Chain A
Amino acid sequence: MAKHVIIEIDWDEWGLIVLGEERYNVKLDSFEGPLDLLLHLIKQAEVDIYDIPVAKITEQYMTYIHQMKELELDIASEYLVMASTLLAIKSQMLLPKQDVWADEDLEEWEAWPEEDPREALVAQLEVYRSYKQAATELMERQAQRDHFFSKAPSKITPSTEHRNESVNIESSLSEMLQAYQKLKWRLRVNRPRTTTVESQKWTIEEKMQSIRTRVFQSAQPISFLQMYTKGEVQEQVISFMALLQLMKENAVVCNQRGNFAAIYIQAREETNNE
């Protein structure tokens, strides 16, 4: 049944995809495998990991799988294996239980209470959960580490005499990768991170206006060198660009007698056409 599903995709606080259009409360993708998804469902259902309501969780799990299918996501085989495991557990739990303790005819070794079919799965979830927790703690430690700063090694060639490994030219792929990572990191560290952005003090338009005014008021040609090459470099650049613009617009004419001679700016006749 081909449905038009994705219109917009939202990201929830877990960084998981939430379907906006159909308002399914199903979070897709981004799970770290079937165990992660199961833990999520168990947490959402607010039940004890040791007493999973298998029927309910299985149903939710299957909904998730169907969502994946509809979205034409690649349903990894691991998810399907887990789905069949859940269904197997569910059907096992539906079977009527023999009350072994009441049956006195049974041999002692047979009179052992039936194993909870969920046991293996719970154990697996428990182990997975503890490593997930460990992963979180590692991440926190990594964040702590960011508060210690050290400098790059001093730029001296390490003495090969004491460094047996640097004599050895053979490197494994992983060593090369590590070296590359280190290099990338180093480049990032060395790159200057701050730059000063100043607000613009002068604009070309203003400068054009001031040159125009001066030029039209003056009967004599004005020396560009004297008038507009004072002040900060930035101001000079803007003045020069303003002058070029005025020339382009045929508002002024510039004369220069020879190389390096002073430049004189003159108003052009009947150009006040703004």
Chain B
Amino acid sequence: MNRDVALILETLLYVSGDEGLEVAHASDVLGIDRAMVTHELQKLASEFEREARALVILQFGSRFQMTTRPAFSDYVQAYASPPQRGKLSQAALETLAIVAYQQPVTRATIEDIRGVNADRAIATLAGKGLIEEGGRLKGAGRAILYETTARFLDVFHLSSLDDLPSITEDEEAEQLDLFSSGYRESWNEDG
């Protein structure tokens, strides 16, 4: 039975392609709980790794995806010349980095950090499905709080947000200092 689960998951991974297999969806199909599905998928991924198969299984949050092995990407490119993904502008990337590390975050905070208006960058990122509205700030104005999406993890090859490259400790401490609520309040009062 256990072996069957792995085989079924592998089948579903194949079928779902680059949409990825959502753990919740697979859990419904197999009638086993999500934690179990996640565990099985991770096991399958390390099995693929151990056996050095042609395909690898990547995790993006609660989504798993079957892809080719990067070691052979030259051959894929020689064979199929896949289209380039559109590159994000510097403004969009900086904004995305701030959302990724600070989430959930308001537009005002992003603008404080970058020193420029962030409307367009936010619209671009939301349009590309990399960030989304993750609720509203309590209090006056009920500012939108932005978060990164599962697609963000996929596009930037991160299995989870913990995978984000760390910004060095000093900077992190300073950032905490700067953006502790007390600071932000006084900043807002000034402005």
Chain A contacts for B53, CB-based, 8 A: none
Q: Which residues of B contact A151 (CB under 8 A)?
A: 17-18
The reply to whether the CB of B171 lies closer than 8 angstroms to some CB of chain A is yes
**B91, B116, B126, B155 — which one has the most chain A CB atoms within 10 A of its CB?**
B116
Q: Please pick, from A130, A131, A189, the residue contacting B168 in the complex, using a CB distance under 8 A.
A: A130
Digit string of B84-118 for contact with A (CB within 8 Å is 1, else 0)?
11011011011011101100000000000111110
**Which of A133, A142, A148, A152 has the most chain B CB atoms inside 10 A of its CB?**
A148
Q: Determine whether A146 belongs to the interface, using a CB cutoff of 8 Å to chain B.
A: yes
Residue among A149, A174, A177, A182 making CB contact with B68, cutoff 8 Å: A149
CB contact between B93 and one of A33, A139, A181 (< 8 Å): that residue: A139
Q: Which residue of B lies closest to A146 (CB)?
A: B85
Contact indicator A78/B116 (Cβ below 8 Å): yes
Q: Decide: B70 and A147 in contact? CB cutoff 8 A.
A: yes
The reply to whether A142 and B156 form a contact with Cβ atoms under 8 Å apart is yes
Assess A193 versus B167: contact at CB under 8 Å? Given A34-B115, A138-B156, A163-B25: no
When the two chains form their complex, are residues B15 and A177 in contact, meaning their CB atoms are under 8 A apart? no
* Cβ-based interface call for A32 (8 A): yes
Q: Are A127 and B113 in contact (CB under 8 A)?
A: yes
Closest Cβ–Cβ distance, residue A134 to chain B (whole Å)? 4
- Whether A162 touches B174, Cβ cut-off 8 Å, given contacts A150-B67, A174-B126, is no
Q: Interface stretch among B2-10, B35-43, B74-82? A: B74-82
B59 CB within 8 Å of chain A: no
Whether B83 pairs with A32 at a CB distance below 8 angstroms is no
User: CB distance A150 to B18 under 8 Å?
Assistant: yes
Judged by a CB distance under 8 angstroms, whether A248 is at the interface is no
The answer to whether A126 touches B85 (Cβ under 8 A) is no
Query: Does A70 touch B at the CB level, under 8 Å?
Result: no
Any B CB within 8 A of the CB of A3: no
Interface size on B, residues (CB 8 A): 62
Interface string of A124-142 (1 = CB under 8 A from B): 1011111111111111011
Starting from the known contacts A34-B116, A139-B87, A146-B73, 20 additional A-B residue pairs (CB-CB under 8 Å) come to: A32-B91, A33-B116, A35-B115, A123-B177, A129-B171, A131-B101, A131-B114, A131-B167, A135-B93, A136-B93, A142-B156, A142-B157, A145-B155, A148-B70, A148-B73, A149-B68, A156-B15, A177-B129, A178-B127, A189-B82
Given contacts A32-B116, A33-B116, A127-B174, contact A174 B127 (CB under 8 A): yes
- Please report the C-alpha to C-alpha distance between residue A131 and residue B113 in the assembled complex, in whole angstroms: 9
Closest residue of chain A to B93 (Cβ to Cβ) is: A135
A188 at the interface (CB under 8 A from B): yes
Q: Cα distance A191–B70 when bound, in Å? A: 23
Tell whether A113 is near chain B: CB-to-CB under 8 Å: no
Query: Is A168's CB within 8 Å of the partner chain B?
Result: no
Q: B96 contacts A138, CB within 8 Å?
A: yes
Binary interface encoding of chain B residues 144-162 relative to chain A, with 1 for a CB under 8 A from any of its CBs, else 0: 0000000100111110000
In the complex the two chains form, is B114's CB within 8 Å of A128's CB? Answer: yes
Interface string of A146-178 (1 = CB under 8 A from B): 111111111010000011000000000010011
B80, A127: Cβ atoms closer than 8 Å: no
Are B94 and A145 within 8 A (Cβ)? Answer: no
Q: Once the chains bind, are B90 and A148 in contact (CB under 8 Å)?
A: no
- Give complex CA distance A124, B82 in Å: 41
Residue from B18, B83, B84, B168 having most chain A Cβ neighbours under 10 A: B18
- A226: interface (CB < 8 Å): no
Q: How far is the CB of A255 from chain B (nearest CB, A)?
A: 51
Kindly supply a per-residue 1/0 record for chain A positions 103-134, scoring 1 wherever the CB is within 8 Å of any chain B CB and 0 otherwise. Answer: 00000000000000000000110111111111
- Of A134, A136, A142, which one neighbours B101 at CB under 8 angstroms? A134
Chain B CB within 10 Å — which of A123, A150, A154, A189 has the most?
Answer: A150
- Report yes or no: A177 in contact with B126, Cβ–Cβ below 8 A: yes
A-B contact pairs, 26 of them (CB 8 A): A33-B114, A35-B115, A123-B178, A124-B115, A124-B178, A127-B171, A127-B174, A130-B171, A132-B94, A138-B93, A138-B165, A145-B155, A148-B58, A148-B67, A148-B70, A149-B82, A150-B65, A153-B17, A153-B18, A162-B28, A177-B126, A178-B151, A182-B129, A185-B85, A188-B83, A194-B81
